[in-house]
Amino acid sequence: MDKGRLVKVCADPNCKIHFADRRQEEKQRLQWKAEKTAANKKAKQTFAFRHHLLAEVLKRVKPQFGTEELRMVAQFVLRSLSHELACRLAKRHGLQNPKEAHDWQMAEKGRTLYKKADAAALAALIFEAMLISPAASATVNKDDDALADAATLYKVEVKKLRERSTQKHTENGQGERAQGKNQRMIGPKRQTAKAIFHRMAFFIFAGQTGVHSDREIEGADGRSRGD
């Protein structure tokens, strides 16, 4: 009859000998996560900068056609926009529906912006409709970038604008993190104060009615925490 034997198995996940493969996989996963986070941050900064660049270009656009000729061109350009781009254009003009961010009504509002615009606004609107798609792209070909060409045409100081855009994006990120931290700090204090109030009220009630059991006290604590 064969006898069993005792085998020692390493269960330490930090062991460099028995868990080397797992440690390497975890290292690669963390590295990939860090690279993805950095890439997302860079993409957001690029988006913010390119939209600021678009705004500077639009400020410099001047009408060359008559108002009605410009209106016809604007109508054609806006009607050619996809649903997503039309919604994005409407959002830039403050026409977003808070309940439905990409509904067909908002897209239609974006496509009809030309109707009440004057000559200067029509010229800027045409450029905006043409450049709104490349403005939302973080990866563009430098030799085929319509937004960069427009910035060069209207002599926008791209370097200074990028610095301001990056600084503003960083400040906004820091402000959001500080606000979230303050909310996390305030939340538990309010809940604790409310629980203490209910507990004090229960003890006053218990003193008046003669109810002093531990189970009833625990029940009061549970109800105060549930609130």
2-11, 82-91, 105-114, 139-148: which range is least confident on average?
2-11
CA distances from 198 to 79, 190, 202, 204, 206 (A): 62, 13, 6, 10, 12
Return the SS3 of 23. Answer: helix
pTM for the predicted model, two decimal places: 0.52
pLDDT at 169: 78
Distance CA 186, CA 163 (A): 35
Closest to 46 (Cα-Cα) out of 115, 180, 138: 138
pLDDT grade, residue 8 (50/70/90)?
confident
Tens of pLDDT along 94-132? 987 666 655 788 889 999 999 999 999 999 999 999 999
Average pLDDT over residues 25-53: 87
Tens of pLDDT along 191-203? 445 554 455 454 4
Domain layout of the chain by residue ranges: 46-157, 191-227
pLDDT grade, residue 22 (50/70/90)?
confident
User: Which two structure tokens, joined as six digits, stand for 50?
Assistant: 């390119």
